[in-house]
């Protein structure tokens, strides 16, 4: 009877050790998988941070260019207004209108160029 109890205890200990080994192996695999996921997510976050920095730089450059373009446009507007006030003949008024249209075209073109440059940098 004692031998039967000893044999049962040994078999139970073997099953417990086997179960414990399986559990540790499973946990080890899960840990490896979790570490891989953490690495991939960290890399993705770093990539997005880099892109965000690039986009911020591109946006800052766009703002500077836009500010300079606004200053140029304002100067041109003032010149056209000054010419318009001094225009006395119909031909002079037509010339001033042409200058105003040129100035508006330059503004639109500059705005479009800024947007295209920003999009080009953002999509790289």
Q: What is the pLDDT of residues 38-92, one digit of tens each?
A: 899 999 999 999 988 888 888 888 888 888 888 888 888 788 778 777 777 887 7
If pLDDT is split at 50, 70 and 90, which confidence band does 22 have?
A: low
Report the chain's mean pLDDT, rounded to a whole number.
80
Provide the residue ranges of all domains of the chain, joining segments of one domain with +. Answer: 2-122
- 83: CB partners within 8 A, 6+ apart: 95, 96, 99
Which residue, among 55, 59, 24, has the nearest Cα to 122 in the 3D structure? 55
CA-angle at 109, arms to 105 and 113, nearest 5°: 175
User: Does residue 20 carry a pLDDT above 70?
Assistant: no
Res. 30: pLDDT tops 80:
no
H-type helices in the chain, by residue range? 2-86, 90-122
For residues 9 and 33, the model is more confident at 33
pLDDT at 46: 93
**Mean pLDDT on 108-117:** 82
């Amino acid at each position: 009877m004692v031998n039967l109890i000893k044999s049962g205890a040994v078999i139970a200990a073997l099953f417990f050790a086997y179960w414990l080994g399986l559990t540790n192996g499973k946990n080890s695999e899960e840990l490896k998988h979790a570490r891989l996921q953490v690495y991939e997510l960290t890399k993705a976050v770093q990539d997005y941070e880099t892109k965000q920095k690039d986009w911020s730089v591109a946006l800052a450059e766009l703002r500077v260019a836009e500010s300079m373009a606004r200053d140029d446009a304002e100067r041109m507007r003032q010149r056209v207004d000054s010419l318009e006030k001094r225009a006395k003949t119909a031909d002079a008024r037509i010339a001033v209108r042409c200058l105003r249209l040129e100035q508006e075209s330059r503004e639109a073109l500059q705005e479009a160029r800024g947007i295209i440059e920003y999009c080009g940098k953002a999509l790289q």
